[in-house]
Structure 1
Amino acid sequence: MPFLNIKNMRYKTSLPFFIFGIFLLGNIENSNAQFLEKLKDKASKTITETVDKVSSKKNKTNKSQKPNPKKKSKENKQAPTKDNIPIKKQSQDIDDSDVFIYKSPSKDFKDLHLQKYKDLPRFGACNFYMKNKTSPLLTADLSRKRNMLTVGYTGFRKLGLMNILNEYFKFLDKESLTPKPQRDYTEKEVESYNAQRLIKDIARGLASDEIKRKYFCKDPTQKRCADNSNKWGGYNSDDFTENEKYVDFVKKYLTELSNWSSQFFKDGTETVYLTNNVKFENNNYDFDKNGYWVALPIRNTFFPHNYTSTEETYFYTFLPKTPYGNNLLNKMNQVKYVKGEVLLKISPEKAEVLVNKNLSDLYMVSKVKIVYNERNTSSPSYHTVSYTYHFESPILEIYEDAALGQKVGEISLEDLIYK
């Protein structure tokens, strides 16, 4: 009997907290409740019932599923590892299914790995493989893949510059390092200096670890010095050694690198896929238009978010080459449409799904062509290069994930609805 009294006391004590919890939860979710209710009212009852049936069927299936004995026995053969995550072999631990690879001309230089989309390099807002419960990569593998992509984007930019600025190499001094141009300088000295600096950047960024130690370490047996030294021959090397290392590298590798660079910006252009982050405010659904308003990627405040910072911004200047591109630019030059917001049509039921996922960003993918524009020679010791870009396809695809696997919808630049 005393036991029953204690039990009753527990129920009486817990009841106020339980009621308070329900009240608090109701307040937290109240902000989205009205919006979701509107979406539900807008959606077709038939579609809603269909979704419920599918969901119910899926739940029943999941409950009734029994473990497959064969599959279980097969999994048991795999050796257990830390956190029950199988560690793949070294040759298989990097998933390159979303990677575009430029093969290097020899083992002395690293391959270039860039993210890809539909078999073309992907630029802009990349997938940074943020680790989550569904990620197949361990932390070490994730770090290695990020490092590979950092090398890849840096190499792409530098080799592209080497081809674009190929005229510099006509004046390259292959026998001696050209001093930094001062007050009195000739055009040949300026171009030789800039070409030599570009060669060093490529050597430090793309050469294998062994080659970097050979040319950028005072003691090639030191494994880390090549990562930090920005001087031929390593830190504190004398002028003779510095010049000797440069001359030797140019003699062995200049032709090879020049041939490799010819693959990039062959005619001064590169066709790629550009990915933009699109801010997504899930409670701003337009019930009259059945969609969300999103901004197009043609404002010059847009900068790429690749794995490495860029000296040259590929997507700073939008310069259209098609009728729909020109119409778009003309429209957005008007004050009324300066924000460049257009309608992304989404049905109410699909909008409800997105709202429940609490997304903060969507990803807009467009096929564009980067075009070399000009080089700025205002600084003799540091020439910069500018580019323009334009759309190669009128179709913009919208995804809800950085991996570009969950498609939300499309926007056609030939049939835009402006806000």
Structure 2
Amino acid sequence: MKRTVNLCLFLILGFGAITTLAAQDSGGLMTINPNQDDFATIHLQTHKDLPRFGVFDNYLPARTKATRTSYSPEIREKIKTVRTGLSNYSLMVRLKYLAPLMADLDTERLTPMAGNSTKAHRNSVFLQSFLRTRLASSICHAEVCQNLGKGRNEFERLRNYKAFTSKYLGPLQEWAKTFFEDDQVVGYHVSSVSFGRQYDFERKGYWVSHSFGMNNVFSMGKARDMRIVFEPKAPYENNLKNKLGRGNALQFLLKMDEETAERYQTEGITTLYLVKKIKVQHAGKAIDNAAQPIEFKYAHESPEIEIYEDLALTKPLSALSLNDLILKTP
């Protein structure tokens, strides 16, 4: 028999707990505090006090080649913190938008796989798997959460599942509501751009390619369960979208004077970092299948793109505008 999560129990357990709070650390991290001590604090890298998405700072000194030996234990710990932080942030955003389907979740019994099943049954299977294999052990440190999905037999596994749903699922859902306030987030997206040795002396720069795909916002790889599409708002964005080629990419001229270009060749610098201020919004599309990707859309908050020499974004080179990119014609 199904039952809803006992919110009264949550209110009792959560009384006096730390409220969700985002604060800027001196180390370029945004800290999101949980509503309960058993849950993990989330740390996100930032740029100009806003979340940083896309290519992350690897904390190595500028122009240090990333090899296995170049990472100290301290740097490895920093990288682990932000990787885990982004992953947990993404899990909480997904939990928030799975809320309409939580009525299909059986909190009393483990839902078996079945070939001939209803949509509600399939949703319960997926949601239980999401909780068991991804959410609980990542977000929650408590023994109850770590034991979810474990057990010597089906009776122990069921006891562990019911212990989690009765004590921790409600508080996690309440915390998830605080993510993506107003169904949107504003931040900076960082992408790398490589350029070769074919300097265009006539145009004074390099021809480079830039993708307007944004599926690495919620993951350092490509997130399969969250889909983000470019949905223009400003006229310059509509113009750019109409010219996108394969892979949502454009080739444009990265202007650079000869002196800088020669210095980069001499020093072996072949990669720069492009930073755009963007707004990511929930697309507002309801889903009826828990396995279905949750859709978001993004647009630019400003046409300006900042260009940096280093991953830490401390060495600005120049800026360009999406309003007047010089595009490469076939």
What is aligned with 1:238? Answer: 153
| Contact in 1 for aligned 2:98/2:290 (Cα 8 Å) | no
Report the aligned-residue RMSD.
3.1
| Contact in 2 for aligned 1:125/1:304 (Cα 8 Å) | no
Give the deviation of 1:412 after TM superposition. Answer: 0.4
| Contact in 1 for aligned 2:193/2:274 (Cα 8 Å) | yes
Are residues 270 and 414 of structure 1, via their aligned partners in 2, closer, same or farther at CA, if it must alter by over 3 Å? same
2:30 is aligned, of 100, 105, 108, to: 100
Give the deviation of 1:307 after TM superposition. Answer: 4.5
What is aligned with 1:67? Answer: none
Q: Distance in 2 between matches of 1:362 and 1:191?
A: 44
What's the % identity of the aligned pairs?
29
Give the deviation of 1:309 after TM superposition. Answer: 5.8
What is aligned with 2:102? Answer: 169
Q: Distance in 2 between matches of 1:256 and 1:196?
A: 17
**TM-score (norm. length: structure 1):** 0.63
**Is 2:163 the partner of 1:248?**
yes
What is aligned with 1:88? Answer: none
What is aligned with 2:129? Answer: 197
2:78 is aligned, of 123, 142, 145, to: 145
Give the deviation of 1:327 after TM superposition. Answer: 0.6
| Structure showing the higher helix proportion among its residues | 1
1:177-196 mapped onto 2 (5 Å cutoff):
177-180=110-113, 182-196=114-128
1:318 is aligned, of 210, 213, 230, to: 230
**Is 2:268 the partner of 1:353?**
no
Alignment partner of 1:367: what SS?
strand
Q: Distance in 2 between matches of 1:289 and 1:110?
A: 51
1:364 is aligned, of 274, 280, 297, to: 274
- Deviation string 1:148-179 (CA, Å, 9 cap, x unpaired) is 12221111111111111110113332222222
Alignment partner of 2:116: what SS?
coil
Are residues 418 and 309 of structure 1, via their aligned partners in 2, closer, same or farther at CA, if it must alter by over 3 Å? closer
What is aligned with 2:193? Answer: 278
Q: Which residue identity does 1:197 align to in structure 2?
A: S
What is aligned with 1:87? Answer: none
Give the deviation of 1:308 after TM superposition. Answer: 6.0
Alignment partner of 1:143: what SS?
helix
- Name structure 2 gaps, 5 residues minimum: 1-24
Alignment partner of 1:114: what SS?
strand
Give the deviation of 1:250 after TM superposition. Answer: 1.6
What is aligned with 2:327? Answer: 418
Q: Distance in 2 between matches of 1:375 and 1:308?
A: 25
What is aligned with 1:44? Answer: none
Q: Distance in 2 between matches of 1:305 and 1:193?
A: 24
| Contact in 1 for aligned 2:54/2:191 (Cα 8 Å) | yes
State which structure, 1 or 2, has the greater radius of gyration over its C-alpha atoms: 1
Are residues 277 and 313 of structure 1, via their aligned partners in 2, closer, same or farther at CA, if it must alter by over 3 Å? farther
Alignment partner of 1:393: what SS?
strand
What is aligned with 2:46? Answer: 116
